[in-house]
Structure 1
Amino acid sequence: MEDVTGATIHELVATGRGDIVEQLNDAAAYRSWTWPIFGVLFLAGLAIASWGWLLSGAALVALVYLVLRDQAKRRVIVFYDVEGADERWFDSLVDSTTVAAASQKVWRIVESGQVVTTRQHKTNAGAGNLVSRVSATVTFDAPRHLATNIAVPTITAGHTSLHFLPDRILVKEGRQYADVAYGDLVSGARSTQFIEALGGLPTDAQQVDRTWQYVNVKGGPDRRYSNNPERAVMLYGQLEMSSPGGLYWKVQTSAVSATNRLHESLRAAPRH
């Protein structure tokens, strides 16, 4: 099995428009001393003489100011005014994301390995390739450090996420940000077959075949195994996104149309 998640956030090559990214990284790295300072002042006010209530009251006033200041330090405000062809394109991307968000299941593939021996093929339900996936979500949630006036199409898998803005793709990993220009993005979509255990299968996906956990060379069930559960062969959509700088995401959706729609929208993205 090989990792197929691409470059880490620190390895991604910058697009050259790092103003927002630098501000977001500063906001994510900001550490507040508000509550420790307030706690010291408030307790000191309680501990000293009868006039200590003045110090405690001052601490409360300072708390309000410092909390508001912290909120400003932890958030980057960006307003977009998108018009004309760019507005129509971004609206189509939002519509495509809505379709993907309605897909019952979404995954990101994080590891992939080729089945190379007959024994591996026979003991892995006849699969030609093995993958490891993590559950993903499709939403319109902007990253917590960004305040903006638009819906932000977002794909999140674990502690990593892609946020599609009108002028760039934000890549977030933990508390770090990078970006990718649409002009550097390469995307592709196709349908793919995936072998699943029976039970809890997504109803918006098509079952195209069946197999067993252990198969013989002709593809039928291997009768030597008394416990040989049947498996469903499902048809899913798959979207691949990459960039010369090292971005690589492979996303599966239970609804094939979801990845096709997203690919078409990304392919039409403005390249300026």
Structure 2
Amino acid sequence: MGFYLRTSLKAGPFRFNLSPSGVGVSAGVPGFRAGTGPRGNYVRVAGLGTTYFGGRAPTPTSPGSPPSMLPATHNDGIVMQELSGTPVQQLVAAHPSDLIGQIQTAAQRHLLWPWAAAAIAVLALCSAPFGLLLLVPGLPAVWWLWQRDIARRSVIVFYQVDDVPAVNYERFTTSSSFVSRVQRVWHVEAEGALNTPYQRKVNAGAAALNRRSPASMDLAGPPMLVTNIAVPSLHGKDRSMYFLPDRVIVRHGHRYAGLPYAAVNAHAQAQRFIESDTPPTDAECVGTTWQYTNKSGGPDRRFKNNRQLPIMLYGRLTVTSPDGLLMVWDFSRPDVAAALAEAIRRMR
């Protein structure tokens, strides 16, 4: 299938291979023991269910045009509602998983090699020229620590996906959302309704304000996850989503949680958005307005430098769960949000 990337995985000096007897590991540098490296996990996803080796399966659980939005620049008197959902710790408790525990442990491990490199550099400079001799044993030691850090901060997962789940995941990874590369993605962090005429007047006549941050999408997966498949991913500043064949992983800061697709709902809708920044070229402009409007929708002449703003048609993807997951993403093309929502629903 097209979503498979490799047949063996490497984490630092360790190389993992999948064989009929299980996941094998070998180390290519003297001084490393397999016991100090990452664990190997094998997950088989097929039409009859999901089988885990080296990890515990998660506990199963059971359109019209919206008002125009405007990015939050000034929000005097406007109550912004955080779109953060329930804390990640509660999601972990609702859906325990050994694999998520490994990812969380790996993410919390600190890097040692930068400290060693800095210490060796300071000692070499302070005791130059003879201190430069420290670089002879120091550089190999730093390289050794670098490889060790990579191994300690890696979680190995081999996936074998068959039957209908393989077809659905193939569609996910090769959908237009990830192949055509939408120009702009945003993570929507908070939203506030504009209730008074004055609030709407000074905010281009919008019905609500959004606080958003730039985001991106790719097939990379979590940084500490080393796997043999492409992983459709949405990356935000503080929050991210990673779509594996058997579950969705969500990140908030340095915390991770995993949810089965049966517990995840995805909804897409077209979103009229008053753009105050340079609009993306792949988005459709459906109208214009003024930064400061009068009752009729025209420009308020009492305000100087009253600029005309484009009304863009974006796509919004809202992902929720009964446990309180809430993540909202905007895309410069509505079809991308719709394709992602459909792909998530197919994985249920």
Over aligned residues, Cα RMSD in angstroms?
2.9
Contact 1:100 1:259 in 2 (8 A): no
- Offset from partner CA, 1:164-204 (integer Å, 9 cap, x none): 1001111123332111211110110010100013x631121
The aligned residue for residue 158 of structure 1 is 237
Q: CA deviation at 1:262?
A: 0.5
* Structure with the bigger percentage of helix: 1
Q: Does 1:121 align with 2:200?
A: yes
Q: Percent identity?
A: 36
Q: Does 1:22 align with 2:22?
A: no
Gaps of 5+ in 2: 1-79, 123-134
Aligned counterparts of 2:250 and 2:237: Cα–Cα separation in 1: 13
The aligned residue for residue 322 of structure 2 is 244
Q: Does 1:208 align with 2:286?
A: yes
* CA 1:263–1:36: 2 relative to 1, 3 Å: closer
Aligned match of 1:183 in 256, 262, 274? 262
Q: TM-score, normalised by structure 1?
A: 0.84
Contact 2:178 2:217 in 1 (8 A): no
Q: CA deviation at 1:4?
A: 0.9
SS at match of 1:12: helix
* CA 1:18–1:228: 2 relative to 1, 3 Å: same
The aligned residue for residue 222 of structure 2 is 143
SS at match of 2:339: helix
SS at match of 1:81: strand
* CA 1:142–1:219: 2 relative to 1, 3 Å: same
Aligned counterparts of 1:171 and 1:7: Cα–Cα separation in 2: 12
Q: CA deviation at 1:57?
A: 8.7
Q: Which amino acid aligns with 1:73?
A: R
The aligned residue for residue 196 of structure 1 is 275
Aligned counterparts of 1:123 and 1:33: Cα–Cα separation in 2: 51
Q: TM-score, normalised by structure 2?
A: 0.67
Aligned counterparts of 1:73 and 1:117: Cα–Cα separation in 2: 55
* CA 1:62–1:131: 2 relative to 1, 3 Å: closer
The within-5 A match list for 1:98-137 is: 98-99=177-178, 102-137=181-216
Is 24-33 or 253-262 further displaced after alignment? Answer: 24-33
Aligned counterparts of 2:282 and 2:139: Cα–Cα separation in 1: 54
* CA 1:36–1:232: 2 relative to 1, 3 Å: closer
* CA 1:33–1:226: 2 relative to 1, 3 Å: closer
Contact 1:109 1:252 in 2 (8 A): yes
- Offset from partner CA, 1:132-171 (integer Å, 9 cap, x none): 1111100111212110000111101103211110011111
The aligned residue for residue 46 of structure 1 is none
Gaps of 5+ in 1: 44-55
* CA 1:85–1:228: 2 relative to 1, 3 Å: same
Aligned match of 1:167 in 246, 265, 269? 246
Aligned counterparts of 2:139 and 2:304: Cα–Cα separation in 1: 71
Q: Does 1:81 align with 2:81?
A: no
* CA 1:67–1:158: 2 relative to 1, 3 Å: closer
Q: Does 1:220 align with 2:311?
A: no
Q: Which amino acid aligns with 1:84?
A: D
Is 135-144 or 170-179 further displaced after alignment? Answer: 170-179
Q: Which amino acid aligns with 1:125?
A: A
Aligned counterparts of 1:81 and 1:266: Cα–Cα separation in 2: 19
